[in-house]
Structure 1
Amino acid sequence: MAFKQVKPQKGYELVMDQIKRQIVDGEFAPGAKLASVVDLAVSFGVGRSTIREALSGLRAMGLVDIRQGGGTYVADPLPGKETLALDAEAIFDRAESLQQLLEVRKILETGCAAAAAKHRTEEDLTVLDGILATMQAHLSDESIGEEADVRFHLQLAASTHNALLQQLMESVSQRLHESMKQTRRLWFYGERAEAQRLLQEHSSIVEAIRRQDEAAAFETMKRHLQKVENVLESALRQKQP
């Protein structure tokens, strides 16, 4: 008889599963504040880093909101049943389907960034700065962050003042929106990254465009997307037997 190999769960996965189950069972109501990292570490008998990894996983599933300096709260409203059914492995299962779109984005968006640096206007910079301000003001609101992220990348295409580039970006805008939601989750989960760090990367792209440094805009966008690709590749490696 053949058996399917099983992987031993890591400490943060055990913690994550317990908290997830309590949220799903209604022991933690939507909007409720969880105990601090220190208190959770004591309760579970694990280190603080284990708790932080578990909370990052729950955030990736859309189950909690982590507010910088304000603690961790159960998402309100909670995500739908499909998302609630996800575990860490299921999140990464989507990596392969995202990889091809990311390849297209790398080709298209690095070119958009360079062209935007060459052709941008002061009005374009004002719009980009406004999007960055929205990201800054809503670091703890993932839904607003996703919307702002998509608008940022579409505005880069608009800032090229090349109608064909804009049309190309708009033609994949729906796919872009859907994929960005998943890549942001993979980013936060795989990199243990904070929203502030993601904001800094977007800011660096805008600063290169502001200086009209085409090469820097190209390379900064390339590095930004490469980090997402690294997370996807890591996810695919985890899926290999």
Structure 2
Amino acid sequence: MAFNQVKPLKGYELVMEQLKASILSGAFVPGEKLASVVDLATTFGVGRSTIREALSALKAIGLVEIRQGGGTYVSAELPNEPSDGSSLFARAQSIRELLEVRKILETGCASLAARNRTEADLQGIREELLHMETYLHDEAKGEEADVRFHLKLAGATHNSLLISMMESLSERLHDSMRESRKLWFYGERAEARRLLGEHSDIFEAIRGQREEQAFEAMQAHLGKVEAVLHKAIAEADLEERFDPAKGGE
């Protein structure tokens, strides 16, 4: 008889599954605030990073809301059919590949936008920067403004092929930014303003028509996102290797 290989769950996946079951069973009611990361870590006997990853996974499937500085709450409206719980890192390879494409495509867009931008282009890009600042603590709206920033930047190249390529990636761009912003805020716990600052650097280089600087600012921004991704994956792998419960090293 042939058997399928069994893939052991990581620590955060075990925590996520227990919390998910509690939410779906009604042990936690919609709108209820969960215990703090510190308290949950103590309850489950795991590190805080494991709890954060579990909460991020629950957020990704619509079961909880994470309010920056305000704790974690069970979603007021639970999804009718929660997904199978694919975690923040389950699509890591896909995110990494998209980031590689973005580094090639968007660094060129930034450079060309610096050369070809008009005052109308600058106004449009500036508007999205202001939206990002307004919604620093609203992840969904901040993400939407982030995507629009990059699309309007592509529009400033006035190259129809580049614009078309960026628009064709629009849905994937949303997915990439959603996941990388989760990693940014919950993996590295960086301040939202740091992300805004990197976009401001890109904008200022484009406004000053400094092509090389615009290229480098975009490269630095996407390189930072990629580094956070690699770090989060490495930490998750290390945690699994050294988890005594799984017979790790």
TM-score (norm 1): 0.74
CA-CA distance at 1:8 after TM superposition: 5.8
CA-CA distance at 1:137 after TM superposition: 2.8
CA-CA distance at 1:154 after TM superposition: 0.8
Partner of 2:187: 192
CA-CA distance at 1:121 after TM superposition: 3.3
The structure, 1 or 2, with the larger RCO (C-alpha pairs under 8 Å, 6+ apart) is 1
Is the contact made by 1:30 and 1:75 (CA closer than 8 Å) also made in structure 2? yes
The Cα offsets for residues 57-112 of structure 1, whole Å up to 9 and x where unpaired, read as 3334443332222222223444463x531232xx5443444555444333221111
The Cα offsets for residues 21-68 of structure 1, whole Å up to 9 and x where unpaired, read as 222333333333222223333433444444333323333444333222
The Cα offsets for residues 107-137 of structure 1, whole Å up to 9 and x where unpaired, read as 2211111112223234333322321222233
Partner of 2:56: 56
**Which amino acid is 1:43 matched to?**
T
CA distance in 1, matches of 2:141, 2:59: 15
CA-CA distance at 1:206 after TM superposition: 1.9
The Cα offsets for residues 205-230 of structure 1, whole Å up to 9 and x where unpaired, read as 22322333211211222233334555
CA distance in 2, matches of 1:19, 1:51: 10
Could you say if the C-alpha distance between residues 118 and 56 of structure 1 is closer, same or farther in structure 2, counting changes exceeding 3 Å? Answer: same
Instruction: Point out the more displaced range, 144-153 or 223-232.
Output: 223-232
Is the contact made by 1:150 and 1:177 (CA closer than 8 Å) also made in structure 2? no
**Which amino acid is 2:172 matched to?**
E
Q: For 1:84, what is the secondary structure of its paired residue?
A: coil
CA-CA distance at 1:156 after TM superposition: 0.3
The Cα offsets for residues 139-180 of structure 1, whole Å up to 9 and x where unpaired, read as 44443233222211110011223344323323x1xx322343
CA distance in 1, matches of 2:37, 2:13: 16
Partner of 2:85: 86
Q: How many residues align?
A: 231
CA distance in 2, matches of 1:62, 1:232: 25
Is the contact made by 2:143 and 2:177 (CA closer than 8 Å) also made in structure 1? no
CA distance in 2, matches of 1:37, 1:99: 28
Is the contact made by 1:66 and 1:73 (CA closer than 8 Å) also made in structure 2? yes
Partner of 1:4: 5
**Candidates 120, 124, 131, aligned match of 2:121:** 124
Q: For 1:199, what is the secondary structure of its paired residue?
A: helix
CA distance in 2, matches of 1:234, 1:202: 22
CA distance in 2, matches of 1:234, 1:127: 34
CA distance in 1, matches of 2:137, 2:83: 20
Could you say if the C-alpha distance between residues 165 and 5 of structure 1 is closer, same or farther in structure 2, counting changes exceeding 3 Å? Answer: closer
Partner of 2:145: 148
Pair 1:14-2:11 in alignment:
no
Instruction: Point out the more displaced range, 12-21 or 214-223.
Output: 12-21
CA distance in 1, matches of 2:79, 2:180: 17
Pair 1:225-2:219 in alignment:
no
CA distance in 2, matches of 1:19, 1:136: 33
Is the contact made by 2:34 and 2:72 (CA closer than 8 Å) also made in structure 1? yes
Is the contact made by 1:132 and 1:203 (CA closer than 8 Å) also made in structure 2? yes
**Which amino acid is 1:84 matched to?**
S
TM-score (norm 2): 0.72
- What residue ranges of structure 1 are gaps of 5+ in the alignment? none
CA distance in 1, matches of 2:101, 2:53: 31
**Candidates 150, 165, 169, aligned match of 1:168:** 165
CA distance in 2, matches of 1:41, 1:234: 18
- What residue ranges of structure 2 are gaps of 5+ in the alignment? 238-249
Q: State the identity %.
A: 52
